[in-house]
């Protein structure tokens, strides 16, 4: 396990993350994120049955709505 690579991945705002990681990063409930992604309140990338999020896009969306 290379902690240097882990830090590099965590600091890259363009990487794709899953809904649980987005929940951890934002402090929001997974159920709320599912609802918001299904109603296009937050940008989502659908990969088959999986949802992925670009962290920077989600944060930008939150900032735009302020």
Could you give the domains of the chain?
Answer: 14-64 (1.10.10.10)
The 10s digit of each residue's pLDDT in 37-65 is 999 999 999 999 999 999 889 889 888 87
**Residue 5 predicted with pLDDT over 50:** no
pLDDT of residue 6: 44
**Residue 8 predicted with pLDDT over 60:** no
**Residue 11 predicted with pLDDT over 90:** no
Whole-model pTM: value is 0.75
CA gyration radius for the chain? 12
> In b/e form, how buried is each residue of 37-59, taking b as 16+ CB within 10 angstroms?
beeeebebeeeeeebebbbeebe
- Quick one: what percent of the chain has pLDDT higher than 90? 58
């Amino acid at each position: 396990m290379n902690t240097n690579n882990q830090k590099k991945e965590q600091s890259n705002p363009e990487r794709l993350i899953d809904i649980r990681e987005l929940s951890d990063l934002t402090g929001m409930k997974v159920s709320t994120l599912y609802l918001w992604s299904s109603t296009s309140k937050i940008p989502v990338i659908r990969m088959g049955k999986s949802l992925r999020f670009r962290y920077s896009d989600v944060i930008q969306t939150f900032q735009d709505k302020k």
